[in-house]
Amino acid sequence: MFFKSNSRCVLVAYLLLCLQVSFAQDRKLADSLKVIYEEGNITGVDKLELLRNLSFNTANDIEESLNYSKELITLATESGNFNYLYRGFSQRGQAYQRAGNLTMALESFIKGSEAASKLEDKSFEGGAYLTIADVYSKIGNAVNAENYYSKSIDILRKTEDSLTLASALLNAGDEAFKNEHFEKALGYFEESGLLFKQVNYPIGTAYNLGNVGMVYAEQGKDALAEQHINEALVLLEELEDYYPISVYLTYMSDIYLRRKDFLKALNYAQRSLDLATQYKLKEQISDANLTLSKLYESNGNQVASLKHYKQHIAYRDSIINLENVQQIADLRTDFEVSQKQIEVDLLEQKRKTQRIVTFATAIALFFIGILAILWYRRYLFIRKTKKIIEEERDRSDRLLLNILPEETANELKLNGKVKAKKHEAVTVLFTDFKGFTSYSENLSPETLVETVDFYFSKFDTIIEKHGLEKIKTIGDAYMCAGGLNVSEDNHAHKMILAAKEITAFVEETKNNIAINDLTFDIRIGINSGPVVAGVVGSKKFAYDIWGDTVNVASRMEAMSEPGKINVSQGTYELIKDTWTCEYRGEIDVKNRGKLKMYFVG
């Protein structure tokens, strides 16, 4: 990779460099190119170029990108075209890297470097060595990473490819920073910073400034650290690259916490949380809350510390149910141990039987009786063990179904992994309690948890009743979806029924005098359209959905009114023949422009 991420040392990914330097991945372009590909009229170099473009523009579909890159490698090998052979291996390596298969990614990049070494343009070879170095850096092999960074930089200095050279210097500096070779890192960053300015690449300049600032911070040069990181923040805000801004702010907070400058540390951490919350950066919201919790704890404010720690836990646990996953892992281990023990016991019994037959001929009837008893006891033991195993397996399956949809859970058990899947027609619902944040500040932790559990438990029952799928909760927000199962075709109507029932329950709760202190007004937003669904991670996994449909559903909730069900144009088209809807007009939505909205009557 030309740029990479490293915990608090945030760098741009190679993919981002490709987006800025060459051209953006374009799904529509990919679809039009696939039509040309399927016609089968393209041959020679034109077909090689077509496959390269298809592999690049289908990058979001890893399997599809891999297939095109592999065909490109085959055809380039047959025709002896080292230019496209290098590109094929490069595309394949990037696809494997996105899939998390670093072993296959490294193998592809190495083969790509062999092809690049046979080309006249040495910038290809320098870029190939850079991708190899980045993989070694990611897996923690500092020796090999530094070796290939040096090779890449030596070659790129002899070319006119200043941007790739700047990227190599930046990543080499990052590797030196990780290994606490601070002066060496500053040398790399100084040279890369000059090159980024020469080629007018502002995002590279921003990350370069931020990394220099962090080196100064580790050296105790606080003034220089603040100067460089603040310059980076200004550029990143202009470029609207908000995730690294939030990370840099948290990093600065940690530094000032170590230096016992509470006010500065608090200011940076709060800015990080505000920004992460504004742009819904869940991981950074969790990190910022954890930093604020540590800050308040160090200052003796246990109430504020606990509040932020609970927010940290809530965002962390919205991604994964730790307890259920651990139980599933334990059950699988117990099952395998039980199976192995049965095999060992049966083998030992077989040996005993053979010894009895060999050495006890004279008292055969006696030993046959003994053997019969032993086999009967073994039979009882095996039957009991199988029953325990089946019960544990059923328990494991139930726990897994609490985390994942049934179809996804079955795929995970069968293959050990889950492929991301695109659903063309899904309805997504968001709910949110009006004024919950200010209300929750006055509650004890126990009362807060009881209040949220009271509502969300009922929501879970309603969602399950209508055959819908709960996705997750984030604080007082609740998200679910319909249409994720293949056989579903009336998901929009089911979602409206569920939304009506949720609204009625919340209204009924408000009229219940016994629990009147725990009541809220609720906003509901619904949108229908395509989403991508899948499981994140291989450990502590979580099922989630992504796409513009989800973002618009969230906007529908935000633009709704208390006690109302606000639906988008897409959902309205699916339900208009069944439900009476009130047209609200085209309403301006932040970052979306004007969207048509309807209240369901």
Q: Quick one: average pLDDT of 46-69? A: 85
In angstroms, the CA 166 to CA 199 distance is 10
Phi, psi for residue 118 in degrees, rounded to 5: -95, 5
For 417, the token pair is 């992994």
Q: Tens digits of per-residue pLDDT, 386-426?
A: 777 777 666 666 656 666 666 666 776 676 677 888 999 99
In angstroms, the CA 279 to CA 276 distance is 5
Domain 14-172 coded CATH 3.40.50.300? no
Crossing angle of helices 364-403 and 406-415, in 10° steps, is 130
For 324, the token pair is 């259920």
CB-count exposure of residue 182 (10 Å: 0-12, 13-18, 19+): middle
Distance linking the first and last C-alpha atoms of the chain: 53
CA 51 to chain CA centroid, nearest Å: 28
Per-residue pLDDT band for 27 (boundaries 50, 70, 90) equals low
Does residue 320 carry a pLDDT above 50?
Answer: no
Query: Which residues are bridge partners to 118 per DSSP?
Result: none
In angstroms, the CA 15 to CA 195 distance is 20
pLDDT at 22: 37
Q: Quick one: average pLDDT of 355-361? A: 71
Does residue 509 carry a pLDDT above 50?
Answer: yes
Q: Which residue in the block uniquely carries the two structure tokens 């679809």?
A: 31
CA 2 to each of CA 117, 126, 135, 339, 570: distance values in angstroms, whole numbers, following the listed order: 19, 11, 11, 48, 40
CB-count exposure of residue 348 (10 Å: 0-12, 13-18, 19+): exposed
pLDDT at 526: 97
Chain mean pLDDT for the chain? 82
- Whether 529 contacts 429, CB under 8 Å: no
Q: Tens digits of per-residue pLDDT, 119-172?
A: 988 999 999 999 999 889 888 899 999 999 999 999 999 999 999 999 999 999
- Whether 130 contacts 2, CB under 8 Å: yes
pLDDT at 323: 41
Q: Quick one: average pLDDT of 525-544? A: 83
Query: Which own/partner contact pairs does 477-482 have at CB distance under 8 Å and 24+ positions apart?
Result: 477/430, 477/431, 477/432, 477/557, 478/430, 478/431, 478/432, 479/428, 479/429, 479/430, 480/428, 480/429, 481/426, 481/427, 481/428, 481/429, 481/531, 481/545, 482/426, 482/427, 482/429
Of 295-309, 323-337, 471-485, 563-577, the least confident = 323-337
In angstroms, the CA 573 to CA 343 distance is 60
Predicted TM-score of the model (pTM): 0.46
CB-count exposure of residue 49 (10 Å: 0-12, 13-18, 19+): middle
Q: Which 3-state string (H, E, C) describes 128-162?
A: HHHHHHHHHHHCCCHHHHHHHHHHHHHHHCCCCCH
List the chain domain ranges: 14-172, 245-313, 322-403, 418-600
In angstroms, the CA 517 to CA 254 distance is 39
The superfamily CATH assigns to domain 245-313 is Tetratricopeptide repeat domain (1.25.40.10)
Q: Quick one: average pLDDT of 348-372? A: 73
Q: Which residue in the block uniquely carries the two structure tokens 């990093």?
A: 251
Of 75-89, 276-290, 587-601, the least confident = 276-290
Q: Tens digits of per-residue pLDDT, 454-468?
A: 899 999 999 999 999
pLDDT at 256: 81
Task: Judge whether 14-172 and 245-313 match in fold.
Answer: yes
CA 194 to chain CA centroid, nearest Å: 34
- Whether 467 contacts 487, CB under 8 Å: no
Phi, psi for residue 416 in degrees, rounded to 5: 80, 0
Does residue 340 carry a pLDDT above 60?
Answer: no
In angstroms, the CA 109 to CA 459 distance is 49
In angstroms, the CA 185 to CA 48 distance is 40
Q: Which residue in the block uniquely carries the two structure tokens 């906007």?
A: 555
162: left (phi over 0), alpha (psi -120 to 50) or beta: alpha
Q: Quick one: average pLDDT of 252-263? A: 83
Does residue 516 carry a pLDDT above 70?
Answer: no
Question: Which one has a higher pLDDT value, 191 or 366?
Answer: 191
Q: Which letter does DSSP use for residue 240 in this model?
A: T
- Strand segments (E) across 135-258: none
- Provide the CATH number for the domain formed by 418-600 in this structure: 3.30.70.1230
Q: Quick one: average pLDDT of 531-560? A: 86
**Helix, strand, coil abundance in the chain, percent, nearest 5:** 70, 10, 20
For 576, the token pair is 């208009």
Per-residue pLDDT band for 429 (boundaries 50, 70, 90) equals very high
pLDDT at 555: 94
Of 110-114, 207-211, 301-305, 335-339, the least confident = 335-339
Report the 10 Å Cβ neighbour count for 509: 17
Amino acid identity of 249? Answer: L
